[in-house]
Amino acid sequence: GENVEQHPSTLSVQEGDSAVIKCTYSDSASNYFPWYKQELGKGPQLIIDIRSNVGEKKDQRIAVTLNKTAKHFSLHITETQPEDSAVYFCAASRNTNAGKSTFGDGTTLTVKP
């Protein structure tokens, strides 16, 4: 089955700096790669996703890049703010079904004011 590895497990940045979280996957048939943000006591919330027919996607301060050859994808957050502090999860799936995703173990991001 699919295996997703996520690094780093913890990340601390100063407000205004950029943060990068990286994931690798093992199943070359995976074609859907979502990123979720989870705040304390809440369920994960989709913040951005990318499908294998594109290499990069951006939404305001958040971007995701995908390298299918190397089987890795990354989340980039620019101009970080304290409210970006949360746990971030990457996931991968063979999307005809976005829900059967395999998740990384999460990255705890702390943005220091």
Partner 1 sequence: DAGITQSPRHKVTETGTPVTLRCHQTENHRYMYWYRQDPGHGLRLIHYSYGVKDTDKGEVSDGYSVSRSKTEDFLLTLESATSSQTSVYFCAISGTPRDRGEETQYFGPGTRLLVL
Asked if 42 is part of the footprint of partner 1 (rule: CB under 8 A), the reply reads yes
Closer residue to partner 1 in complex, CB, 41/113: 41
Nearer Cβ to partner 1 (10/18): 10
Q: Which is nearer to partner 1, 22 or 78 (CB)?
A: 22
Instruction: Record the tokens describing residue 100, joined without a space.
Output: 């059967």
Cα–Cα distance measured from residue 72 to residue 22, given in angstroms and rounded to the nearest whole number: 7
- Rounded to the nearest angstrom, the gap between the alpha carbon of residue 16 and the centroid of all alpha carbons in its chain is 19
Tokens 């101009």 belong to 79
Q: Is 89 in the site for partner 1 (CB under 8 A)?
A: yes
DSSP 1: -
What is d(CA 102, CA 112) in angstroms, rounded to the nearest whole number? 30
Of the candidates 6, 24, 65, 85, which one interacts with partner 1 according to CB under 8 A? 6
Q: Among 14-22, 61-69, 75-83, 101-109, which window interacts with partner 1 (CB under 8 A)?
A: 101-109
Backbone φ and ψ for 88, nearest 5 degrees, come out as -115, 135
Residues that bind partner 1 (CB under 8 A): 1, 6, 34, 36, 41-46, 49, 51, 89, 95, 97-106
